[in-house]
Amino acid sequence: MTDAIKIDVWSDIACPWCYIGKRNLEKGLEQASEDDDAPAVEVEFHSFELSPDTPVDFEGGEAEYLSRHKGISPEQATEMLDRVSGVAADAGLAYRFDLLKHTNTVKAHELLHFAKDHGRQNELAERLMSAYFTEGRHLGRDDELVLLAADVGLDADAAREALQSGRYLPAVRADQAQATAYGINGVPFFVIDGKYGVSGAQPAEAFAQIVRQVWDERREPAEV
């Protein structure tokens, strides 16, 4: 039995392209899963903060944040958001930037590490991104994060303790240090099988192609 292909994903729950990339990856893996010799794949998410200096309670909407952060006009920011909303819609995601509450994401990353220890990381990543981009939930607050953890079957009291203790912060920092070592300066970024780097929200077909390629390489007999 060939070991599963490992896909390490560096992302931020506040990154609109990361949610699109996640969905496209899932669709690509679904395509590959229909093969006669379907690849076995394991996905793990890693922490990357796009804007670690963002306050928990940012005053203003997403267009205003983008305008300040990138030094562009509000009109340009709105155009950028409209464009990404269109790409998200193509991926089956209904972004609501009018509801979005921009916030610091370090606590969300800590919670994702807690979820990984309890075998629910992928489910929580989906729940957090959906809550942030489509429901207007405030992901910088412990109470909101605990509710979302409970939504995917995690123990609410344990989730709250994990957040309040800060015991997963070193794991967040370790992910960020690994990203720096890999030279990752933007997300989403996918490391396939520890040797192929894929940057950006690639189409589903691209993800299907690369996992098939890696799986074929795994099945080739070693040269003598």
pLDDT tens-digit map of 36-89: 999 999 999 999 999 999 999 998 899 999 999 899 999 999 999 999 999 999
* Residue range 158-167: mean pLDDT, rounded: 98
The pLDDT of residue 1 is 55
* Residue range 8-25: mean pLDDT, rounded: 98
* Residue range 161-172: mean pLDDT, rounded: 98
Asked if pLDDT for residue 220 goes beyond 80, the answer is no
Query: For residue 181, what are the CA distances in angstroms to 18, 49, 105, 171, 184?
Result: 20, 15, 21, 15, 8
pLDDT category, 224, cuts 50, 70, 90?
Answer: very low
Query: For residue 159, what are the CA distances in angstroms to 76, 110, 137?
Result: 39, 10, 17
Where do the structural domains in the chain lie, given as residue ranges?
A: 5-219
- Contacting residues for 208 by C-beta, under 8 A, at least 6 apart: 28, 29, 31, 32
- Region 5-219: CATH code: 3.40.30.10
Helices (H) and strands (E) in the chain, counts: 9, 4
Percentage of residues of the chain with pLDDT beyond 70: 97
132-147 confidence digits (pLDDT tens) = 999 999 999 999 999 9
* Residue range 100-125: mean pLDDT, rounded: 98
Amino acid present at 12? D
How many other CB atoms are there within 10 angstroms of residue 94's CB atom?
A: 10
The pLDDT of residue 69 is 87
The pLDDT of residue 117 is 98
The pLDDT of residue 222 is 52
Asked if pLDDT for residue 207 goes beyond 70, the answer is yes
Mean pLDDT across the chain:
95
Amino acid present at 35? D
